Amino acid sequence: MTLTESISIERVKKSRLSTIDFSNLGFGNHISDHMLVADYKDGAWHEPKIIPFGDMMMSPAMLSLHYGQTIFEGMKAFKNKNGEIIVFRPQRHHQRMNKSLERMCMPTLSEEYFLNSLSALIEVDSDWVPTAEGSSLYLRPFVFAFEAKLGVKIADEYKFMIITSPVGPYFAKPVKLKVEEEYVRAAEGGTGFAKCAGNYGGAFYPTLIAQKQGFDQVLWTDAKEHKYIDESGAMNVMFVLNGKLVTPKLTTSLLDGVTRDSILTLSSSLGLEKEERKVSVAEIEEGFKKGTLTEAFGVGTAAVVSTIASISIHGKNYELPVVNENSFQLRIKKKLNDIRRGNEPDVHGWNYTIK
């Protein structure tokens, strides 16, 4: 029995696939034909089902709307050179998802339940996986409190859902950042390490202010002193400083990025020593002044690598060297893509094949 035979499936009467221009996908503009839905009631997750993508009925008193019990993940599926569909590091995403669920007092999912659900939905919508270089099927699993009650409480009922979206190559221009010295994304002991919706909602306002000042994103700093680098926008941040790959050490205020972990794992194969430690704003400014800071980039699922063109520190704008084919960030991005596409051996066992 295949995964799709073990999960209830209601297929769309007419696919929207023919209406999609796969040469101009963008990011998140289109949702595939089907979605997976599962309910948590009476202390257990019930059997998932796959249904046509569409609107849902929900109560205005639904607890997640009022008290924020909602988390999500983001990952990608690709077609490799043999035409197989692979998902990149879903087990690692599952582990992080459960950490987010635990922090938000929500029920976790077993790895088997998670992978079977993911695989079944991709199998049903396999034709939605793009084949063009740099494109992929973006996967968005999420969980939210579904119980209808206005009392401030931990919900007893939840929904687990997965929706997918074909996305094109991410060709973002190099970004201009401003070191944030007033607002805070997350504090130690808070929810910064969890992919909960509130982290993103709370980041919008300071980011909007930065954009009105001519920047693309903010470079978050620690909540206590604003002396140490945390993250770049909604991504982890990395620097090539004094010939080493340097990135802030994980704390409870930082997201444990899967792309971050992958790049750190692969860095030595490209001849770069890595350091995970506190990175001060003063150290970055000194690196600019001395010319020892040669690269800075954000890392995450969407773009893999997002080049940083400049960083504003205490009101002064510092420019980074122009990225070229020898830059570490482009070489590591290519290496990751080659592993996911099957052009390079997957020695770490990161690729999960949809049978």
* pLDDT tens track, the chain, 355 positions: 555 567 999 999 999 999 999 988 888 899 999 999 999 999 999 999 999 999 999 999 999 999 999 999 999 999 988 889 999 999 999 999 999 999 999 999 999 999 999 999 999 999 999 988 888 999 999 999 999 999 999 999 999 999 999 998 776 789 999 999 999 999 999 999 999 999 999 999 999 999 999 999 999 999 999 999 999 988 999 999 999 999 999 999 999 999 999 999 999 999 999 999 999 999 999 999 999 999 999 999 888 899 999 999 999 999 999 999 999 999 999 999 999 888 899 999 999 999 7
Whether this prediction's pTM lies above 0.75 is answered by yes
Domain map (residue ranges) of the chain: 3-169, 175-341
What whole-number distance in Å separates Cα of residue 214 and Cα of residue 217?
9
Beta-bridged to residue 71, according to DSSP, are 143, 196
pLDDT at 170: 72
What whole-number distance in Å separates Cα of residue 87 and Cα of residue 201?
28
Q: In 10 A of CB 74, how many CB atoms? A: 17
What whole-number distance in Å separates Cα of residue 167 and Cα of residue 30?
8
Beta-bridged to residue 317, according to DSSP, are 312
**What's the 3-state SS for the chain?**
CCHHHHCEECCCCCCCHHHCCCCCCCCCCCCCCEEEEEEEECCEECCCEEEECCCCCCCCCEHHHHHCCEEECCEEEEECCCCCEEEECHHHHHHHHHHHHHHCCCCCCCHHHHHHHHHHHHHHCHHHCCCCCCCEEEEEEEEEECCECCCCCCCCCEEEEEEEEEECCCCCCCEEEEECCCCCCCCCCCCCCCCEHHHHHHHHHHHHHHHHCCCCEEEEECCCCCCEEEEECCEEEEEEECCEEEEECCCCCCCCCHHHHHHHHHHHHHCCCEEEECCEHHHHHHHHHHCCEEEEEEEECCCEEEEEEEEEECCEEEECCCCCCCCHHHHHHHHHHHHHHCCCCCCCCCEEEEC
The reply to whether 3-169 and 175-341 are identical in fold is: no
Please name the CATH architecture into which domain 3-169 falls: 2-Layer Sandwich (3.30)
Q: Any residues with CB less than 8 A from the CB of 163 and at least 6 apart, and which?
A: 31, 32, 35, 53, 140
Q: Any residues with CB less than 8 A from the CB of 8 and at least 6 apart, and which?
A: 47, 48, 49, 50
Q: Which CATH superfamily is domain 175-341 in?
A: D-amino Acid Aminotransferase, subunit A, domain 2 (3.20.10.10)
pLDDT at 4: 56
pLDDT at 171: 61
pLDDT at 3: 52
